[in-house]
Structure 1
Amino acid sequence: MLNFIFLVNKQGQVRLSQYFKHQDENERRDIEPEIVKKCLNRQENQCSFLDYKQYRIIYRKYASLYFIVAADEEDNEMAVYEFIHHFVETLTSYFDKVTEIDIMFNMDKVHMILMEMVLNGEIVETNKNRILAPLRTMDHASKR
């Protein structure tokens, strides 16, 4: 089960944080900077998986953004790693080469894409056309 996902730039600024399990506000304030710091401080040749408290942290770097996901310890790391890649591919498919600016100025659309893919911490959809259909429908309706 996925617990949360962060999109972070190279400077450590969190651009998106989505929690799938309830986390106390104080706990969030403690967790985010620690995990971000751990991921940003890792070397290029180090593994993209690390343990943090009761979580298994899986991250990938794309251009200037880090996609960080916390999963349960018993979850398959490679499946989550591939989920991150698929999420980025889906964003790229919608935004035509997704950038940090796209995410910042289209937060609602990024959240919609994520919510189409993940429900209550479980990955429920991987088909790009199905994931993007509601957004494309909204875009088409707004052009009328």
Structure 2
Amino acid sequence: MIKFLLMVNKQGQTRLSKYYEHVDIGKRTALEAEVVKACLFRKKDECSFLEYKDYKLVYRQYAALFIVVGVTDSENELSIYELIHNFIEVLDKYFSRVKIMFNLDKVHIILDEMILNGHIVETNRNRILVPLQALDKMAE
């Protein structure tokens, strides 16, 4: 099960966080700081999976952006690794060079289409984008 997903820049600043289980706000800050530190300071030739407390962390770097996903021990790391790549491909397809940070509401919609209650529910890029395309048509 997916517990959380973070989008972090190279400076370690969290740009987006999505939690699929309750974590107190005060604890989130400490958790994010420790998780980001654990992932950002790893070498490029090291594995993108690591254990951290009660979580397995799976992360990928895309340019200056890190996507970090915290999962339970029973989750398949490779499927989460591919989920991260699919998420980035959906973002690239929808935004096409528009700054993602100015459209975090739409990024949340994309995540909600892909992950529900910590479980992957959709991986087809076209189906993931249907709600956003409908919203865009209504806005025109």
TM-score grouping bracket, smaller chain normalisation = over 0.9
Matches within 5 A, 1:45-60: 45-60=45-60
Match of 2:110 among 109, 113, 119: 113
Matches within 5 A, 1:1-144: 1-97=1-97, 102-143=99-140
Measure, in 1, the Cα distance between the counterparts of 2:31 and 2:73: 16
Measure, in 2, the Cα distance between the counterparts of 1:81 and 1:97: 23
After TM superposition, the runs of 4+ consecutive aligned structure 1 residues lying more than 6 A away are none
Residue 26 of structure 1, CA deviation: 2.3
Q: Deviations over 1:49-95 (max 9, x none)?
A: 01010100000000110000001011100000000000001111101
Instruction: Report the identity percentage.
Output: 53
SS of corresponding position for 2:101 = helix
SS of corresponding position for 1:131 = helix
Aligned length: 140
Measure, in 2, the Cα distance between the counterparts of 1:73 and 1:27: 21
SS of corresponding position for 1:47 = coil
Q: Deviations over 1:10-40 (max 9, x none)?
A: 0111000000111122221210000001111
SS of corresponding position for 1:57 = strand
Q: TM-score scaled to structure 1, two decimals?
A: 0.94
Q: Name structure 1 gaps, 5 residues minimum.
A: none
Q: CA RMSD in A?
A: 0.9
SS of corresponding position for 1:140 = helix
Residue 97 of structure 1, CA deviation: 4.2
Q: Is the 8 A contact 1:15 1:103 kept in 2?
A: no
Residue 103 of structure 1, CA deviation: 2.1
